[in-house]
Amino acid sequence: MQIYVGNLPESFTDDDLKALFEPFGRVVAASIGKEKGYGFVEMQKKSEARAATDALRGKDMNGKPLRAKVLKPGDEFQSHAESLHGAAKVAGGGKNMRTGGSNFRGTGAIRRGGQRGS
């Protein structure tokens, strides 16, 4: 699960970013952006990523509130995050077992809040 992190101190390194998120679970990758002040973290489990963002969002970082957002496919930062640290594949190599390895969700996916059936 990809996470965007903003308002990082200029002195932050990839290792510092990884250390910030490790207490919440396994960090697959952590990278600071080319222009310092933001970065991306990839965590293996969705629940750990959500716990980390909830706990760290708003944390004071040298007088600035830390920004943390779990990225979804299609978010404006998603492609940038993948290019920055190579989109590490986890849990089955990123393959969707229902569709034979394709990442295409298809049209039959049930959305939250929608009605099932009929």
Q: What is the 3-state secondary structure (H, E, C) of 85-98?
A: HCCCCCCCCCCCHH
Domain boundaries along the sequence of the chain: 2-89
Among 16-25, 34-43, 74-83, 103-112, whose mean pLDDT is lowest?
103-112
CATH code of the domain occupying 2-89:
3.30.70.330
pLDDT of residue 5: 95
Q: Which of 84, 88, 96 is nearest to 40 (CA)?
A: 84
The pLDDT tens digits for 92-116 are: 344 444 444 455 555 555 556 656 6
> From residue 117, how far is each of 48, 108, 110, 111, 114 by CA, in Å?
32, 11, 10, 12, 10
User: pLDDT band for position 91 (50/70/90)?
Assistant: very low
- Mean pLDDT for the stretch of residues 33-50: 91
Please state the pTM of the whole predicted model: 0.65
